Amino acid sequence: MEKSKQIQIGLLAVLALLLIANLFGGGFQNWFGQSEGDQIRQSAASMTGSNTVAPQQDATTGTGNIPGTNVNATSTPIGPLTTIKYDEASYDFGVADEGTVVKHVYKFTNTGDEPLVISNARGSCGCTVPTWPKQPIPPGGKGEINVEFNTKGKPGRQSKQVTVTANTNPSDTHLEIHGEVRGKDQPVSKGH
């Protein structure tokens, strides 16, 4: 009878540890390798015939930087893919005075056969802020990505990048905004 109680207490302790791990440790992902969400995504991908699954994401940061994974991995699109064509992917704003906000609109066309869904656009630094359409762009449809570059504290030659993530292959495309920022106490450099 004594051994039976020890087994019961041991099983209750294991159950309690699993419950604590689920509540505070991000589920059972760290113990069993794959979270419930990853299992669901993988199952959904197999039902739709797609063989691509988004990388695991860190629940606290929303990034793919989980120990043991490729920290430089980008999301692999799930579902039907399309193509995007920019009217211009690079914009030279010329010369701007430090402290001004340079704005540019990048126009694009969905040149594929499926709706284009832009899931994210991010600047290479906090001074470059993009805004993008949140609704799907139908095949043949056009859209715009607005980019604002704040030149405050950025004197000299500047080149900033915006990474656009969509259901395209590759999933990331890049836009560039560049030019010369005339510092408050500096002349514009020659030869650029």
Least confident stretch, 8-12, 72-76, 109-113, 147-151: 72-76
Residue 36 lies in a domain: no
Residue 110 lies in a domain: yes
* Type of residue found at 56: Q
Residue 63 lies in a domain: no
Enumerate long-range contacts of 24-29, CB under 8 Å, 24 or more apart. 26/59, 29/56
Mean pLDDT of the chain: 76
Domain span at residue 146? 84-182
Residue 171 lies in a domain: yes
Phi-psi region of 49 (alpha: psi -120 to 50; beta: other; left: phi over 0): left
* Residue 7 DSSP SS3: helix
Residue 111 predicted with pLDDT over 60: yes
pLDDT of amino acid 186? 63
Task: Give the residue among 100, 97, 101, 102 at the shortest CA–CA distance from 187.
Answer: 97
Instruction: Read off the pTM.
Output: 0.59
Please state the domain count of the chain: 1
Tokens of 56: 């695991």
pLDDT of amino acid 5? 79
Residue 41 lies in a domain: no
Residue 148 lies in a domain: yes
Least confident stretch, 5-9, 71-75, 118-122, 162-166: 71-75
Residue 19 lies in a domain: no
Which CATH number do you get for residue 143? 2.60.40.10
Residue 50 lies in a domain: no
